[in-house]
Amino acid sequence: RFIAKPCALGLKVQANGPQKAQPNAILEKVFTAITKHPDEKRLEGLSKQLDWDVRSIQRWFRQRRNQEKPSTLRKFCESMWRFTFYLYIFTYGVRFLKKTPWLWNTRQCWSGYPYQPLMPDLHYYYIVELSFYWSLMFSQFIDVKRKDFGIMFTHHIVTVTLITFSYVTNLTRVGTLILCLHDAADIVLEAAKMANYCKCQKLSDLLFLAFAVVFIVSRLGIYPLWILNTTLFELYEALGNFPALWVFNVLLMVLQILHCFWSYLIIKAAYKAISKGKVAKDARSDVESSSDEEEPVPGSKAPHSTVATNGTSGTNGTNGYLTGAASSEEH
C-alpha cells in the first residue's frame, strides 16, 4: 500500500479497474443467485423480459464478471510484494547456505542425524518460509481463480506438509537446500509479471524466457540429480531404512510430478514465444479459470469483433498477465 502502489503509479500502471456494468436489478439477481454464465435459453428469456438484444445481455454479464477481478494496479502490487519476498528470502538462503558444509557435500545432511543442533539462522529461515506458504494457501481462495487452482492448492499443501514434516523430524539441512532452490525461479517470474503490467513487453518477454530456463534447469535438472539423489540414495546408505524416509521421499516425488506438469506448460509457452516472436503467457499459474471473451450471438451472422478484457486493450489485454500473440494462455 505504501511502497508498491506509489511505485506502480510512478511507472504509469493502469490504476482503474474494468468497465462497470450498468445497474440492473433483474440481471444482478440472476448473476448473484443463479448463474454468472447464462446459457442460450436463459439469455433469450432475459432478452424478451428486458427487451434487450442478446449481445447486450452477454456484454453485461461479461462486464459484471470482470468487475470481480482485481485491477492491474492491485496485481502489480501483489507481484511486487512477492518479488520482494522471494528476493529477500533467496538472498538470505544463499548467504546462510554458503557457510554450511552440506551445500558443497550433500552427505553432510545426514552426518550425525538425528542429533543435529537447530541453529537460530536455520530456525528463522524455516519459520519465515512456512508462514509465507501458509499465507499463499489461504490467499488463493480470495485471489483470482486460475486454471490450475487445484494443482497450485496441491502444491501449497505438499509444500507446507514438507516444511513441517522435515522440521519435526529434523531433516532441516536438506530442507534448506530445497527451499533455496525453489525460490530462484519465482523471483524472475514475479519480475516478468511486473514488467508486463508496466507494458514493457520486450522486457517481459525476456524475463519470461529467463524464467523458463531457470525453472526447467532447477526443477528438472538440479532437483532430481542433487536433491532426490541424496534423499533416495545417500540418506538410505547413511542411516538405513526408517518410516520418515519413505514419507519424506513420497512428498518430494509428488513435488517433482508437479514440476513436470508446469515444465510442460512453460515449454509450450516458450515454443510460442520463439515461433511467433512473443511470449503468450506463463501458463504455470496466472491463467484465469475462464475466458471472458465476447460470446457469439446465438443464430447471429454478425462478424466477431475483438474485445479486450479487464479494461485493457490490444495484445496485452487479457487481464494484465503475461501476454502476446492471439492466445488466451500465465508463475
Q: What is the pLDDT of residue 305?
A: 38
How would residue 297 be classed by pLDDT, with cut points 50, 70 and 90?
A: very low
Task: Summarize the confidence of residues 217-224 as an average pLDDT.
Answer: 96
In one-letter notation, the amino acid at residue 271 is Y
Task: Report DSSP state, residue 147.
Answer: T
Task: Summarize the confidence of residues 292-312 as an average pLDDT.
Answer: 40
Structural contact between residues 164 and 172, judged by C-beta atoms closer than 8 angstroms: no
Q: Which of 308, 283, 309 is nearest to 208 (CA)?
A: 283
Contacts by 30-36, CB closer than 8 A, 24 or more apart = 31/61, 31/64, 36/61, 36/64, 36/65
Range of 88-92, 238-242, 279-283, 297-301 with top mean pLDDT: 88-92
How would residue 311 be classed by pLDDT, with cut points 50, 70 and 90?
A: very low
Burial bucket for residue 260 (CB in 10 Å: 0-12, 13-18, 19+): exposed
Q: What is the pLDDT of residue 21?
A: 76
**Distances from the Cα of 155 to the Cα of 133, 149, 151, 193, angstroms:** 10, 10, 6, 21
Task: Summarize the confidence of residues 165-188 as an average pLDDT.
Answer: 96
Q: How far apart are the first and last CA of the chain?
A: 22
Structural contact between residues 103 and 97, judged by C-beta atoms closer than 8 angstroms: yes
Give the CATH fold of the 19-68 domain.
Arc Repressor Mutant, subunit A (1.10.10)
Q: What is the pLDDT of residue 169?
A: 95
Task: Summarize the confidence of residues 195-224 as an average pLDDT.
Answer: 93
Q: Which of 297, 287, 298 is nearest to 328 (CA)?
A: 287
How would residue 279 be classed by pLDDT, with cut points 50, 70 and 90?
A: low
Helices then strands, counting H and E runs in the chain, come out as 12, 0
Which residue(s) pair with 288 in the sheet?
146
Structural contact between residues 181 and 223, judged by C-beta atoms closer than 8 angstroms: yes
Task: Summarize the confidence of residues 66-88 as an average pLDDT.
Answer: 87
Q: Which residue has the higher pLDDT, 45 or 96?
A: 96
Range of 25-34, 64-73, 208-217 with top mean pLDDT: 208-217
DSSP secondary structure, 194-241, as one string: HHHHTT-HHHHHHHHHHHHHHHHIIIIIIIIIIIIHIIIIIHHHHH--
Q: How many residues does the chain have?
A: 331
**Distances from the Cα of 306 to the Cα of 10, 43, 161, 190, angstroms:** 30, 21, 45, 28
Q: What is the pLDDT of residue 29?
A: 85
How do residues 96-141 score in pLDDT, each as one tens digit?
999 999 999 999 999 999 999 999 999 999 999 999 999 988 888 7
φ and ψ of 312, to 5 deg:
-115, 170
CATH 1.10.10.60 domain locations along the chain? 19-68
Q: What is the pLDDT of residue 225?
A: 96
Q: What is the pLDDT of residue 180?
A: 96
C-alpha cell at 66: 470482470
CB neighbours of 166 closer than 8 A, spacing ≥ 6?
Answer: 172, 174, 175, 248
Lowest pLDDT segment from 211-220, 290-299, 306-315:
306-315
Res. 13: pLDDT tops 90: no
Res. 43: pLDDT tops 70: yes
Q: What is the pLDDT of residue 42?
A: 86
Q: What is the pLDDT of residue 275?
A: 78
pTM: 0.74
How would residue 327 be classed by pLDDT, with cut points 50, 70 and 90?
A: very low
What average pLDDT does the structure give for the chain?
A: 81
How do residues 231-267 score in pLDDT, each as one tens digit?
999 999 999 999 999 999 999 999 999 999 999 999 9
With cell 557457510, the residue in question is 99
